[in-house]
Amino acid sequence: MNSLIPWVGGKGKLLWLIHKLAPSSYERFIDVFGGGGTVTLNHPLQHGCIEIYNDYNSNLTNLFCCVKNRTMALLKELGFLPLNSRDDFNVLFKFFSKDEFDDDYMKEELELTEVFLPPPEAEAIKKLMLERAPRGDVRRAADYFKLIRYSFSGGGKSFAGKPCDIRCFFHLIWKCARRFASVVVENKDFEDLIRQYDRKNAWIYCDPPYYEAEDCYQVEFPKEDHQRLHDVLLTCQGRVMVSYNYCSYICELYKEFYIYRTKRPNSMSQKADSEYEEVIITNYDPEQCAAQLNMFRMVCGAHDGEDIPYELIHTPEK
């Protein structure tokens, strides 16, 4: 299933390997760094399995909560003035950068209304806007959805510069609402979340900000957090899987785990055929525990009909 929103570091191109190396049985699935939700949305539905989506970015979790619980209200809100221009983006960007609703925001929205609409309509819309001024969760979710959809590569930082009719995504919102109907949405720091939900029968999937790319997100992830994540994962009773960029720091940090290496097309690069090396790390031996893996150490998996090699590059001593 396509993601609700584009998200930096989204795992769409790695799903095939995540599923291949997944444990064969578990009763709770925990997507610790859920981001755009690709992994949860594509997690195979299993009878009796609890699913948890988490992210520390509260705008994002508010969006997923509204998609799940306030679907109609969100669609209505998105249908209200679906403008798309650099000005519209700038207003939303300013609001989410400051993370507060102030008079400047409203002043700009009212001015924009005058720019876009002829006087009688502008007056009517301005009146409506003033009545709706208190920003509820739904309105916040709609604004955040637009900010991400209007921005370059979903980064939320710069205007994509191309037309985007928000109403084209309504079908995705419906699909996502249905898929998230039984998913628990959490907004916690990874350590608290893992300690709360870890059990013997859990599959804990972690896709943290990549090493030396921590500043791509709207929440901070200081360098020490890579160590903090490793340390909490080392104590887990459940099956753990972590995705990272391939680099010596991460391979050294996770030496007590199994490490698989693969590559994927680098969508952020301007160069043709540019590839990005990734690792998938597990605290279990996928050759023993995964449903779909055969006994070959250097194998290929298919993504979009293309064979992509992956390789076990490290086995723990114990």
Ligand X SMILES: C[S@@+](CC[C@H](N)C(=O)[O-])C[C@H]1O[C@@H](n2cnc3c(N)ncnc32)[C@H](O)[C@@H]1O
CB of 218 to ligand X, least distance (A): 7
Q: Which of 29, 53, 56, 144 binds ligand X (CB under 6 A)?
A: 56
Amino acid at 124: A
**d(C-alpha 53, C-alpha 30), whole Å:** 6
Contact status: 154 vs ligand X (CB under 6 A)? no
Show contacts with ligand X in window 16-55 (CB under 6 A): 33, 35-36, 38-39, 55
d(CA 17, CA 309): 10
Per-residue x/- track, 57-96, ligand X (CB under 6 A):
x---------------------------------------
Enumerate residues 6+ apart whose C-beta is below 8 A from 80: 142
* Cα atoms in the Cβ-side hemisphere of radius 13 Å centred on 2: 9
CB of 56 to ligand X, least distance (A): 4
> To the nearest whole angstrom, how small is the minimum distance from the Cβ of residue 95 to ligand X?
18
CB of 318 to ligand X, least distance (A): 28
Regarding 197 and contact with ligand X (CB under 6 A), the answer is no
Report how many helices (DSSP H) and strands (DSSP E) the chain contains, helices first: 13, 9
Q: Is the CB of 33 or the CB of 145 nearer to ligand X?
A: 33
CB 296 within 8 A of CB 280: no
How far apart (Å, rounded) are the C-alpha atoms in residues 158 and 162? 12
CB atoms under 10 Å from CB of 67, counted, come to 25
Does 301 bind ligand X (CB under 6 A)? Our answer is: no
Q: Which residues are at the interface with ligand X (CB under 6 A)?
A: 7, 9-11, 33, 35-36, 38-39, 55-57, 189-190, 207-209, 217, 219, 221
